[in-house]
Amino acid sequence: MRITTKGQVTIPQSIREKLGISPAVEVDFVEENGRVYLLKKRDGSSKTRKYRRLRGIATVKMTTDEIMALTRGEK
């Protein structure tokens, strides 16, 4: 396998299928003792995980329409 001038490498299809790696999946590279490992990040997008701990803690009792009017500056 060769690395391109941009530092890219093609992961063989059999490996992608075995690990469930598709174009939308994020991966990490980890170096240990002179070896590099490719790790699939856990399921769930990073955007979703970032806000998961905040879900359900809102204290404002407003409807969606009231919130949208407030953010748009409507009276």
CA–CA separation, 24 and 41 (whole Å): 11
- Whether the model clears a pTM of 0.75, i.e. scores above it, the answer is no
Of 64, 58, 56, 22, the residue nearest 40 (C-alpha): 22
Q: What's at 8, amino acid-wise?
A: Q
Q: Where are the domains of the chain?
A: 13-72
The CA-atom distances, in angstroms, between 38 and each of 20, 42, 54 are 13, 13, 31
Q: What's at 39, amino acid-wise?
A: L
| Burial degree of 72 (CB within 10 A; 0-12, 13-18, 19+) | exposed
> pLDDT tens, 9-66?
999 999 989 988 888 888 899 999 999 998 888 765 556 667 777 777 878 788 889 9
**Per-residue confidence (pLDDT) for residue 41, from 0 to 100:** 82
